[in-house]
Amino acid sequence: MADPLVVTGENHRFLATEHLREVGISLTSALLEPVARNTAPALTLAALAAVENGDDPVLVVTPADQTVADASAFNGAMHKAIRQATEGAIVILGVIPHRPETGYGYIQALVAPTPTLVVERFVEKPNESSARQYLAEGGYYWNAGMFVLKASVWLQAIESFRTDIACTTRAAWARRSTDAAFVLPGAAEFAAIPSDSIDYAVMER
């Protein structure tokens, strides 16, 4: 397993370094966004870095603000996800809901003959009535915003669905510079990237 690759705002480089140090991880590489452009460009940047030397690793994509309460269950789910992603799947982790939460997006899943469910659709943050209905019906999961997929699979997907994001992120990557462990994409090129989330740009399509 490789060291974590952090994608963060340029102004947060030292905060990210300190947070990793607090959990015993030395920062070996971080991609610094000159401006915020949401998660689809951030993942595209990470995928470009991952394939730079001819590799095609499975990426475990997770926001920095998640809390994992059951490490054993999380690790088990992650191992399943990695196995699926190795075969070319795009895997999203869902959380079993225990209340009618209106602050999260939902994933509606179909029952499949494997331990991995198949996504039927994504549902944006619902009103309370709809959230109660999802809870009663079952088959709905909170969208954790965690994705597992090969770097090449993401690059193919973003090329297919958002060529504009793919092309402009590649241009910013081509103009990158380095400062110790920090990689800085071209600032002007990065500012030209359309802002969009992983969900809207690819997953919901």
Residue 141 belongs to a domain with what CATH number? 3.90.550.10
Indicate the residue type of 50.
Answer: A
1 belongs to a structural domain? no
Cα distances (angstroms) measured from residue 143 to each of 67, 124, 204: 14, 9, 12
Does residue 198 lie within any of the structural domains? yes
What is the rounded average pLDDT for all residues in the chain? Answer: 93
Residue 142 pLDDT exceeds 90: yes
CB 104 within 8 A of CB 76: no
- Res. 33: pLDDT tops 80: yes
What average pLDDT score do residues 48-72 get? 93
177 found inside a domain: yes
Look at the chain and report how many structural domains it folds into: 1
Residue 99 lies in a domain: yes
Q: Is 30 part of any domain? A: yes
Confidence of residue 44 (pLDDT cuts 50, 70, 90): very high
Q: What is this structure's pTM?
A: 0.92
Q: Is the pLDDT of residue 113 over 90?
A: no
Quote the pLDDT of residue 111. 76
pLDDT > 90: percent of the chain: 83
pLDDT at residue 137, rounded to an integer: 92
Range of the domain at 148: 6-203
